[in-house]
Structure 1
Amino acid sequence: MRGLFDLTGKTALVTGAGRGLGQAIAVGLAEAGADVVLVTNRTPADETKRRIEAAGRKAIVLQADVGDRSRLAGLIDSAVGEFERLDILVNNAGIIRRTPAADHAYEDWQEVLDVNLNSVFTLSQLAGRQMIEQGSGKIINIASMLSFQGGINVPGYTASKHAVAGLTKALANEWALKGVQVNAIAPGYMATDNTEALRGDPVRSRQILERIPAGRWGSDQDLVGAAVFLASSASDYVSGHVLCVDGGWMVR
């Protein structure tokens, strides 16, 4: 059974790997046996790299704003150039802008879509070509509870995360027959920088916790098992699925 989740000999690329969910996923993949390419923008990934190397795996750090499309091909080329293949892509990088829709600046809307959606398509397309040539690969997109719901004051984020769920299914339809599984994880309300404003609002925080059957905010470690599952051969017959890791939020 352990072999189903063994990533030894695999190479993963994780965006937004400097902290939070991306860091936890990157380290979790390494602990399962993968070497990891860490993509980060402003946040240093030194600690993530140190933890991966402590697990006995290799890591390289690439600095890039994934919202800048011109930088994306170089990320895939660097990963393949260093490790000769790319087996796992985790599209984790994301941003959020909180403004009522009537006042939402177009620049904020565009920036959120560039990072949260356009980079996901472009990196998936580039990695997908490599994986199709190899005959195998796993793409894991990070969706959201707002892939299913509307949210409040986050029109760009909600639009992007609905689109990520749809894109996951579209790519899965095309690539499953070619040995490439494309799936997504939809984290629930996690204790991350993106939810700091919600957690700091006593009313909204109480309302959210009252709806979560598990009775707590999620942690970055709550995503690791799901990511290893979707990156491993254990999920070879799972395709186009959006896996909620939400403490039961969606079923209440």
Structure 2
Amino acid sequence: MGVGERAEWKDQVVLLVGGDEVGEAIEARLRNVGAQVVTTVGSSDLINATDIAELVEAIVQQYGKIDVLVHAWECFEASPAIDMPWEKWKTLVQTNVKSKFLFAKEAGRHMLAAGHGNIVLLTSIAGLVASPGAAAFAASQGAVQQVTRTLGVEWARRGIRVNAVASSLPEGSFNQERMVEVAPLGRLPKPDELVDTVLYLASDASQMVTGQIIAVDGGYVTQ
């Protein structure tokens, strides 16, 4: 089936962790193709293992299942490495990694019991290339991408696929202008331009794709 065919998405329950423009764009498209979307707003306050487990369990109790998890939220702070206090570094890294890992773990628990499911984590190319002024954020993104690869392999034989979409650095990054200059396509993606890749990875169209980090960045990481 194609990425946007309504027949495929009918009766699919999607847990979306969002809270920004990208999350809103993903939610709108998923609803448009007929998916049942349960949205929770990502937050630095929502990284407790018990809270996330209870939230996911409540969704399963209400809707009967979770077919797809899309985690599209992360926190970001730009700072030269020398100026970033250790506590801020630790908080940023832990928040991003814990949020994505714990949601993947708890949603994955139910998917494994059902024998099928898709997980798509939105990350940044900061995990793939050097990102001056964003050392803590880059560290968190590299960790999330390794979690993606590992879970993709660990759960592959049990019917679960795990992939990530790596987009450009968030607004406010020190090297945004340089990224635009260097990117072969001459610009960085808009939030709604990430959606097709997310839906592709969450759909049967990508049934032979797992453990992959797909960069949607105007070609920046190729340079």
Using the size of structure 1 for normalisation, the TM-score is 0.81
Alignment of 1:40-189 (within 5 A): 40-41=41-42, 65-189=45-169
Note if contact 1:32-1:228 (Cα within 8 Å) is conserved in structure 2. Answer: no
Post-superposition CA distance 1:185-221 (Å, at most 9, x none)? 00135xxxx31x24xx7xx444221111221231111
TM-aligned CA deviation for residue 3 of structure 1: 7.5
Note if contact 2:163-2:212 (Cα within 8 Å) is conserved in structure 1. Answer: yes
Alpha-carbon spacing, 1:207–1:41, altered in 2? closer, same or farther (3 Å): closer
Note if contact 1:212-1:248 (Cα within 8 Å) is conserved in structure 2. Answer: yes
Among 198, 205, 214, which residue is 1:234 paired with? Answer: 205
Q: Percent identity?
A: 30
SS of the residue 1:90 aligns to:
strand
Note if contact 2:125-2:166 (Cα within 8 Å) is conserved in structure 1. Answer: yes
Which structure 1 segments of 5+ residues have no match? 43-63
Alpha-carbon spacing, 1:3–1:24, altered in 2? closer, same or farther (3 Å): closer
Using the size of structure 2 for normalisation, the TM-score is 0.91
Residue 225 of structure 1 corresponds to 196
Note if contact 2:4-2:33 (Cα within 8 Å) is conserved in structure 1. Answer: no
Range moving further from structure 2, 30-39 or 125-134: 30-39
TM-aligned CA deviation for residue 79 of structure 1: 1.5
Alpha-carbon spacing, 1:176–1:86, altered in 2? closer, same or farther (3 Å): same
Partners in 1 of 2:82 and 2:179 — Cα distance? 25
**Alignment RMSD (CA, Å):** 1.9
TM-aligned CA deviation for residue 87 of structure 1: 0.6
Q: Which amino acid in 1 is paired with 2:54?
A: G
- Is 1:247 the equivalent of 2:218? yes
- Is 1:8 the equivalent of 2:10? yes
Residue 54 of structure 1 corresponds to none
Residue 179 of structure 2 corresponds to 208
TM-aligned CA deviation for residue 96 of structure 1: 1.0
- State how many pairs are aligned: 221
Q: Which amino acid in 2 is paired with 1:23?
A: E
Note if contact 1:65-1:71 (Cα within 8 Å) is conserved in structure 2. Answer: no
Partners in 1 of 2:176 and 2:89 — Cα distance? 25
Q: Which amino acid in 2 is paired with 1:156?
A: A
Note if contact 2:123-2:144 (Cα within 8 Å) is conserved in structure 1. Answer: yes
Partners in 2 of 1:249 and 1:41 — Cα distance? 27
Note if contact 2:2-2:205 (Cα within 8 Å) is conserved in structure 1. Answer: no
Partners in 2 of 1:218 and 1:4 — Cα distance? 20
